[in-house]
Amino acid sequence: MNKILFLVFVTTLLFGSCDKNKTKSYHYRVIGTIYNKNDSTPFSNTKFKVYLRPSSFNATDAKESYFFTDVSGHFDFTSEHKGSLVWPSYHTGASYVGPPEFGNSGTFYTDEVNKIYVTTMDTIYTTPYY
């Protein structure tokens, strides 16, 4: 009986002393500039979003993060999820209603120290959508 109690005590001690690795999750940073395709003027102070399309198995997995451009159409934002750069649509949630996504052109690198995936987009040209 003492052996069983000792074994339970040692097992409990081992599992209790295990340090659970709480790893910091990665974030996604995107940098770029958005211009009007019609007249090459910057979209200044304009709202856009990053949209992560849900899987076909679970339509509630859609994720959205909104960001604004500055006066010169430049943006630099960080999100907790990756996704496509798109215009905000009038429908939020499971589906995106709006023009095509802006594409994924640009350069990518990983900031291992700060746990950030960084994308620097080429200049984006899109037509207005309000």
CATH number of 25-126: 2.60.40
What average pLDDT values come out for the chain (130 residues) when binned by 10 residues? 52 54 78 92 92 66 86 93 81 62 79 90 84
Q: What single letter denotes the amino acid at residue 48? A: F
Strands 124-126 and 47-52: unpaired
* pLDDT on residue 53: 73
Q: What single letter denotes the amino acid at residue 32? A: G
Domain spans of the chain, in order of start: 25-126
- SS3 label, residue 11: helix
- The residue among 61, 125, 68 whose CA lies nearest residue 95 is 61
